[in-house]
Structure 1
Amino acid sequence: MSLRKSYRRAKIYRGRTGSPTEKWHVWYSYRNPITLKFERFKVYEELNYIKDHKEKEEYAKDLVTDTNVMLRMGYTPFAVDKRTETLIDDEKIAIVEAEKNKADDPQLIEAFEIFLKAKRLLNLDSDTITTYCSYISKFENYLFTTRRADIHVRDLTAGFLKDMLTWLSDHHKWNPTTYNNHLRFCGTLANWFSRKPRQWVKKDDFVISKDEELEFKTAKPMKHQYFGATVADRVKKEMIKIPQLEFYCKFIYYSCMRPDEIRELVIENVDIKGRYIKIVGKTKSRTIPICDELAALLETLNLDQHPLSSFVIGKDGQTARIRHSEGYFARLFREYIRKPLELSENFTPYGWKHTRVVDLLNAGYSDAEVKNLTGHTDTESYDKYKRDLVNYMHTRLRGQTLGF
Structure 2
Amino acid sequence: MHPYILAELYPKNRNLKARWLVQWAIWDVQKNKLVYEQKRVPGKLKTIREREKWAKEFIAEINKALLDGYVIDEVGEGTTVTEQAPANRKLMEVLNEMLLVKNFELKKKSRSGYKSILGKFKDFLAYENLGNINSHDFLPKHFFLFKDYLMKVLQNANPTINKTIFTIGHLFKMGVDRGHLKTNPFAGFKSLKEVETESNTAYTIEHQQAMEAYLKDNDLRLYYFTRFMYYGFIRPAELRQVKIKHVDLKRRTISVFGQDAKNSKIRIIRINPTLWQTIKEMDFEGLNPDLFVFGKKLLTTKFRQPDNEAYNKNRKALEALELMEHNYTLYSWRHTGAVNAITIGGLSVFELQRQFGHSDVKETQIYLKTLKVRIDNQPLENTW
The 1:269/1:12 distance shift into structure 2, 3 A limit, reads: same
The answer for the alignment partner of 2:96 in structure 1 is: 27
**Mapped partners of 1:322, 1:133: distance in 2:** 37
One of 344, 350, 358 as aligned partner of 1:376: 358
User: What is the identity, as a one-letter code, of the residue corresponding to 1:26?
Assistant: L
Q: Does residue 307 in structure 1 map to residue 270 in structure 2?
A: no
One of 237, 244, 253 as aligned partner of 2:221: 244
One of 269, 272, 275 as aligned partner of 2:252: 275
The answer for the alignment partner of 1:351 in structure 2 is: 332
Q: Is the 8 A contact 1:43 1:130 kept in 2?
A: no
Residue 359 of structure 1 deviates from its aligned partner by 0.8
Unaligned stretches of 5+ residues in structure 1: 14-24, 30-39, 70-124, 140-171, 173-177, 185-214, 397-404
User: What is the identity, as a one-letter code, of the residue corresponding to 1:249?
Assistant: T
Q: Is the 8 A contact 1:183 1:216 kept in 2?
A: no
Higher helix proportion (structure 1 or 2): 1
Q: Does residue 317 in structure 1 map to residue 298 in structure 2?
A: yes
**Mapped partners of 1:377, 1:126: distance in 2:** 29
**Mapped partners of 2:256, 2:318: distance in 1:** 29
Q: Deviations over 1:194-237 (max 9, x none)?
A: xxxxxxxxxxxxxxxxxxxxx64447889442111121122222
One of 365, 373, 383 as aligned partner of 2:347: 365
One of 222, 225, 229 as aligned partner of 2:205: 229
% same residue: 18
Q: Deviations over 1:168-210 (max 9, x none)?
A: xxxx6xxxxx3xxx237xxxxxxxxxxxxxxxxxxxxxxxxxx
User: What is the identity, as a one-letter code, of the residue corresponding to 1:130?
Assistant: G
The 1:379/1:11 distance shift into structure 2, 3 A limit, reads: same
Residue 309 of structure 1 deviates from its aligned partner by 0.7
Residue 343 of structure 1 deviates from its aligned partner by 2.7
Q: Does residue 259 in structure 1 map to residue 236 in structure 2?
A: yes
Alignment map for 1:77-116 (pairs within 5 Å): none
The 1:384/1:377 distance shift into structure 2, 3 A limit, reads: same
Please state whether the residue corresponding to 1:341 is helix, strand or coil: coil
**Mapped partners of 1:218, 1:325: distance in 2:** 33
**Mapped partners of 1:52, 1:224: distance in 2:** 22
The TM-score normalised by the length of structure 2 is 0.53
The 1:256/1:51 distance shift into structure 2, 3 A limit, reads: farther
The answer for the alignment partner of 1:130 in structure 2 is: 175
Please state whether the residue corresponding to 1:288 is helix, strand or coil: strand
Largest Rg, 1 or 2: 1
Please state whether the residue corresponding to 1:303 is helix, strand or coil: coil
Q: Does residue 183 in structure 1 map to residue 188 in structure 2?
A: yes
Please state whether the residue corresponding to 1:304 is helix, strand or coil: coil
Q: Deviations over 1:338-374 (max 9, x none)?
A: 3432432621222111111111111332111111111
Residue 52 of structure 1 deviates from its aligned partner by 10
Residue 299 of structure 1 deviates from its aligned partner by 1.3
Residue 336 of structure 1 deviates from its aligned partner by 2.9
The answer for the alignment partner of 1:188 in structure 2 is: none
Residue 277 of structure 1 deviates from its aligned partner by 0.8
Residue 375 of structure 1 deviates from its aligned partner by 1.6
Q: Does residue 390 in structure 1 map to residue 369 in structure 2?
A: no
Please state whether the residue corresponding to 2:285 is helix, strand or coil: helix
Q: Deviations over 1:43-63 (max 9, x none)?
A: 79996695994797369979x
One of 337, 340, 349 as aligned partner of 2:318: 337
The answer for the alignment partner of 1:296 in structure 2 is: 277
Q: Is the 8 A contact 2:349 2:361 kept in 1?
A: no
Alignment map for 1:213-228 (pairs within 5 Å): 216-218=191-193, 223-228=199-204
Q: Is the 8 A contact 1:317 1:324 kept in 2?
A: yes
User: What is the identity, as a one-letter code, of the residue corresponding to 2:305?
Assistant: H
**Mapped partners of 1:366, 1:251: distance in 2:** 19
Q: Is the 8 A contact 2:92 2:122 kept in 1?
A: no
**Mapped partners of 2:338, 2:120: distance in 1:** 22
User: What is the identity, as a one-letter code, of the residue corresponding to 1:380?
Assistant: K
The 1:67/1:8 distance shift into structure 2, 3 A limit, reads: closer
Residue 312 of structure 1 deviates from its aligned partner by 1.0
**Mapped partners of 2:252, 2:278: distance in 1:** 13
Please state whether the residue corresponding to 1:287 is helix, strand or coil: strand
Q: Is the 8 A contact 1:41 1:126 kept in 2?
A: no
Q: Does residue 9 in structure 1 map to residue 78 in structure 2?
A: no
**Mapped partners of 2:179, 2:229: distance in 1:** 40
**Mapped partners of 2:298, 2:285: distance in 1:** 17
Residue 385 of structure 1 deviates from its aligned partner by 0.9
Q: Is the 8 A contact 1:10 1:28 kept in 2?
A: no
